[in-house]
Amino acid sequence: MGWGHMLDARKLTKSQQGNPDSWVDVKQRLPMLSQKRYYPSLTYGYARGREAYNYVENIRRYQVSLVGYLLEKEKKAVEAMKQAELAKGYPAVEAKLALAL
């Protein structure tokens, strides 16, 4: 599936009163690019739109999981810094924290 097929998906979206600038609307039309009812009338014709849809959705899911992972990692680092700050002046606690890091 290429750029021309994306243009077809946007055109199809607009013809069905959707927003061609919205991924939410366009992604619903991508699978239609492989349906005989639609592709003969499109400029660039048949495309495996379901594959493009799945590809983008997989990337978006991966991005969401990365953001969650990085936020959790940052939260743990901030908590460790807070614990280290609280432990200052308490040698026994400082030694324990140093071993844990």
Provide the whole-model pTM. 0.64
* 75 vs 34: CA distance, rounded Å: 45
Is residue 59 helix, strand or coil? helix
> For the chain, which residues make up each domain, given as ranges?
3-71
CB atoms within 10 A of CB 40: 9
Could you read off the pLDDT of 47-80 as tens digits, one per residue? Answer: 999 999 999 999 999 999 999 999 999 999 999 8
Q: In whole angstroms, give the CA distance from residue 68 to residue 51.
A: 26
Residue 90 has pLDDT above 80, yes or no: no
57 Cβ contact list (under 8 Å, min separation 6): 27
Instruction: Give pLDDT, residue 73.
Output: 94
